[in-house]
A and B are shown apart, each in its own frame.
Chain A
Amino acid sequence: MNKSSADILLVEDSEDDTALFVHALAESHPSTQIQIAQDGVEALVMIYGLGQPESSPPIIRPKLIILDLKMPKISGLEVLRILKSNPNTLSIPVVALSSSQEKFDLAESYRLGVNSYLVKPMDFDKFKVAVKILISYWLAYNKPSKQ
């Protein structure tokens, strides 16, 4: 690991959803650092650099990756598959944050090893509560792997 990692890596292609997430995070956890990847390709480059995503060690190691599923180029499910099939990144917690409640997306995410699945609430107040609980749990309460 040769780059400093932020606490959270948010992989989200929607500018609006990113802004709302950042706003909600700033309100509940102002000191939490966040890095943003605007699509799956950018996320993989950020994590693995120019190495092979399937086998390389990560160059950043966020405490939590928040992953949108519906993204152009490489989908969230594909990013998830790579993260969880590479032994070097397997233990990084990944939370899917999606507007999809599709059975397939849910089942496939869990099959690929997602640590949690959150449906983006329509109401912003509920969204803020969800972000607050989510970040508190994974950054403060959850005991991460030593790797």
Chain B
Amino acid sequence: MDAIGAMAFNWVLQSMNTTLLHENAPANMRASEIRYRRLFEAARDGILILNPDTRKITDANPFMIELLGYSHNELLGKELWEIGLLRDEKANQATFRELKENHYVRYENLPLKSKSGQCHEVEFVSNIYDEGGTDVIQCNIRDITERKKAQDEIEKLNNDLERRVSLRTTELKEANQELQSFSYSISHDLRAPLRAMGGFTRILEKELGNQISDEAEYAMERIRVNTVKMGDLIDGLLNFSSLGRRELVKREVAPSSLVSQILEELRPELDGRRVKFEVSPLPKCRADGTLLKQVYANLLSNAIKYSRGGDPAVIKIGCRQEKGQDIYFVEDNGVGFDMQYTNKLFQVFQRLHRSDQFEGAGVGLAIVHRIVQRHGGRVWAESRVGHGAVFYFTLEHHE
């Protein structure tokens, strides 16, 4: 309840007490009057009492006098428009009409000029009440200049902040777009010479036919292997950069069905090996299905690759709950990795194994990291050299 409200409430309460305790009426009335007077004198809102018939001021509290700069005597007998509270006599009449009809008038942000010309913004509340058989108008006037100034300042700051955020967002978007198109054209422009190198080496091999020495044949083979490798790196870079441009379309997804699709697709990679897949039930989640499938495809493809030595290789796919959060995992019993390099694991083109042992461009886990991050989740791994690895991920931010 604000000050005006509290005052009105007190007044009503006083009146009720007066009615209920009518036997002690004169004494109570006096006490009530004293209380009201004290409030009137001490209030930090301006209060004016008006005669509804003449519309003239019959009393003004000290704060009103302080606010307007008129003396008590100067105020008595004046109408509201004459002290600048209402625009003109016409506005004055309209207010009184409204007051008579509704017994209540409230204006916010009313401009008020003091005698010395100082401008204030005020909140104006006026009502009619019965004072012992006679109607009286009470106007409460609150100076809201400071509040208004603070509000304007907040609004200005907010607008400024919004403008700056929008500017930064545009700049970021532009920079991102530029970076994406840069990496895309680099990838494409890198492809062309590579294709030429591969093509001409093939032509050279064919032209030389049987005349080619073992050493020259070896050199040609190395050129071929390296062009393929660089092609893979470019593909990886392309895939990785295209991820950032792709819009995230989240909907309810059943990871179990994605996993079974991927296991089917990865069958050729098994190459006749004995691999045991243990798939536990996976709770549904809100995610971009295509991207989540990519996460599982990369994690499972890695698990298959790095468990090559195991017979049988065992790959577990599951989910566990921790503090109300679903933590999905892919576990293998493969070669594992040294945990001291774990920070490199999810970076682009970082590999923890020699490429002649385990092929790959080193973008699979970077892609997993990027996708999980874009979902607002977290990805991490635990491993011990020779004892397999577990990759965990969550899909939502969790406190």
Q: Does B196 contact A (CB under 8 A)?
A: yes
Task: Tell me the residues in window 86-138 of chain A with beta carbons closer than 8 Å to chain B beta carbons.
Answer: 99-100, 102, 120, 122-125, 127
Specify which chain B residues have a CB less than 8 angstroms from the CB of A102 in the assembled complex: 184
Name A21's closest neighbour in chain B (CB-CB): B199
B192 touching A14, Cβ below 8 Å? yes
Name A15's closest neighbour in chain B (CB-CB): B196
Specify which chain B residues have a CB less than 8 angstroms from the CB of A123 in the assembled complex: 198, 228
Which of B188, B193, B201, B228 is packed against the most chain A CB atoms within 10 Å? B188
Which of B199, B228, B231 is packed against the most chain A CB atoms within 10 Å? B199
Q: Does B194 contact A (CB under 8 A)?
A: yes
A20 to B199, CA, bound (A): 7
Given contacts A23-B203, A102-B184, A127-B199, contact A122 B194 (CB under 8 A): yes
Q: Does B173 contact A (CB under 8 A)?
A: no
Q: Does A61 contact B (CB under 8 A)?
A: no
Specify which chain B residues have a CB less than 8 angstroms from the CB of A124 in the assembled complex: 195, 198-199, 201-203
Specify which chain A residues have a CB less than 8 angstroms from the CB of B78 in the assembled complex: none
Q: Does B191 contact A (CB under 8 A)?
A: yes
Q: How far apart are A135's CB and chain B's nearest CB, in angstroms?
A: 17
Specify which chain B residues have a CB less than 8 angstroms from the CB of A125 in the assembled complex: 202
Total contacting residues, chain B, CB less than 8 A: 17
Specify which chain B residues have a CB less than 8 angstroms from the CB of A23 in the assembled complex: 199, 203
A88 to B310, CA, bound (A): 66
Among B184, B195, B200, B201, which residue has its beta carbon within 8 angstroms of that of A122?
B195
Name B232's closest neighbour in chain A (CB-CB): A122
A124 to B192, CA, bound (A): 12
Q: How far apart are A69's CB and chain B's nearest CB, in angstroms?
A: 10
A102 to B184, CA, bound (A): 9
A100 to B185, CA, bound (A): 9
A16 touching B199, Cβ below 8 Å? yes
Question: What is the interface residue range for chain A against chain B?
Answer: 10 to 19
A99 touching B203, Cβ below 8 Å? no
Q: How far apart are A106's CB and chain B's nearest CB, in angstroms?
A: 13
Specify which chain A residues have a CB less than 8 angstroms from the CB of B198 in the assembled complex: 122-124
Please encode chain A, from 66 to 86, with 1 for each CB lying within 8 Å of some chain B CB and 0 for all others: 000010000000000000000
Q: Does A17 contact B (CB under 8 A)?
A: yes
A87 to B10, CA, bound (A): 90
A125 to B203, CA, bound (A): 10
Specify which chain A residues have a CB less than 8 angstroms from the CB of B193 in the assembled complex: 16
Q: How far apart are A132's CB and chain B's nearest CB, in angstroms?
A: 15
Q: How far apart are B166's CB and chain A's nearest CB, in angstroms?
A: 26
A19 to B184, CA, bound (A): 25
A70 touching B195, Cβ below 8 Å? no
A20 to B200, CA, bound (A): 8
Specify which chain B residues have a CB less than 8 angstroms from the CB of A17 in the assembled complex: 192, 195-196
Q: How far apart are B262's CB and chain A's nearest CB, in angstroms?
A: 22
A99 touching B192, Cβ below 8 Å? yes
Name B245's closest neighbour in chain A (CB-CB): A103
Specify which chain B residues have a CB less than 8 angstroms from the CB of A20 in the assembled complex: 195-196, 199-200, 203
Q: How far apart are B203's CB and chain A's nearest CB, in angstroms?
A: 6
Given contacts A20-B199, A102-B184, contact A122 B192 (CB under 8 A): no
Given contacts A124-B202, A125-B202, contact A99 B195 (CB under 8 A): yes
B202 touching A100, Cβ below 8 Å? no
Interface CB pairs A-B, < 8 A, 12: A20-B200, A99-B188, A99-B191, A99-B192, A99-B195, A100-B188, A122-B228, A123-B198, A124-B195, A124-B203, A125-B202, A127-B199
Q: Knowing that A16-B193, A17-B196, A20-B203 are A-B contacts, what are 14 other residue pairs whose CB atoms are under 8 Å apart, sorted by A's residue number?
A: A16-B195, A16-B196, A17-B195, A20-B195, A20-B196, A20-B199, A20-B200, A23-B203, A99-B188, A102-B184, A120-B191, A123-B198, A124-B195, A124-B199
Show the binding face of B for A, using Cβ within 8 Å.
184, 188, 191-196, 198-203, 227-228, 231
